[in-house]
Amino acid sequence: MMEHKGYIGNVEFDDEANIFHGEVINLRDVVTFQAETVKQLRKAFRDSVDDYLEFCAERGEFPEKPYSGKFMVRIEPELHKAVAIQAKLEHKSLNAWVHDALELAAK
């Protein structure tokens, strides 16, 4: 993975084409990049992100922010009840309990 201005690029290598190619993964818009060397790849990634930001500015649009820190999760009522009870037992809000569980799972 690569990061530039809060945007994350995921990279793969195509052995047949002998080329690296990647995509900015924390956008709904499709922003891609490719190169033959790691040095060129880093530049292509940064240039793609910068081009995206410049394109948005030219159109008078706000660029999509990588993440707001808010998301909605839909779960079964039984699971909702179970995690709410567990959060209470740990003297945490449901939000704090979910935050801690996700942080642990993401490590």
Phi, psi angle pair for 44, to nearest 5°: -60, -40
Which segments in the chain show pLDDT lower than 50? none
User: Measured between alpha carbons, how far is 28 from 38 in angstroms, rounded to an integer?
Assistant: 25
Q: Which two tokens stand for residue 58?
A: 């030219």
pLDDT at 70 (0 to 100): 83
Contact 64, 53 (CB under 8 A): no
pLDDT at 36 (0 to 100): 96
User: Measured between alpha carbons, how far is 80 from 90 in angstroms, rounded to an integer?
Assistant: 15
